Amino acid sequence: MAADLGLLIIRLVIGLTFVGHGAQKLFGWFGGTGITGTGSWLESIGIKEGAKVWAALAGLFEFIGGLLFAAGFLTWLGAIMIVIVMIDAIFAVHGKNGYWMTNGGFEYNLVLIAAAMGVALIGPGEYVLIYTP
């Protein structure tokens, strides 16, 4: 019971945070810049080809992956989507800055990858929106 509650808390916090990040990229919600603004930012860091497409894909992976992860439905797929976005963030932005977040490094990205993979391997627990055995 306590483990199921713990998994629910992890899924909700991480999943809904990713939903919010995806909504920032896709719709400009929560202070985000939408696809156009995110695409412009990607261009500014050197991703010139298809920046708006990459912005939309990142937003979709965050939004849909976060929803699946939070709901506990196809949790493994939501986790994969989260992990892909975080690996991309490490390679495109944070990796060159080293490990520690205080230097803009990939510390936080790695923590999110570990949490998403851990939940995917353990399973979502009993408290899910739609049960899938």
Instruction: Give the relative orientation of helices 2-27 and 34-44 as an angle to the nearest 10 degrees.
Output: 90
Least Cα distance to 124 among 10, 20, 18, 13 occurs for 10
Band (pLDDT 50/70/90 cuts) for residue 132 is low
45, part of any domain: yes
pLDDT in tens, 87-97: 999 999 999 99
pLDDT in tens, 27-50: 999 999 999 999 999 999 999 899
C-alpha torsion angle, residues 49, 50, 56, 57 (rounded to 10): -70
Per the structure, the count of domains in the chain is 1
Q: Is 30 helix (H, G, I), strand (E, B) or coil?
A: coil
133, part of any domain: no
The domain in which residue 105 lies consists of 2-122
127, part of any domain: no
pLDDT in tens, 8-31: 999 999 999 999 999 999 999 999
**Residue whose token pair is 């979502």:** 124
The whole-number average pLDDT for the span 46-60 is 95
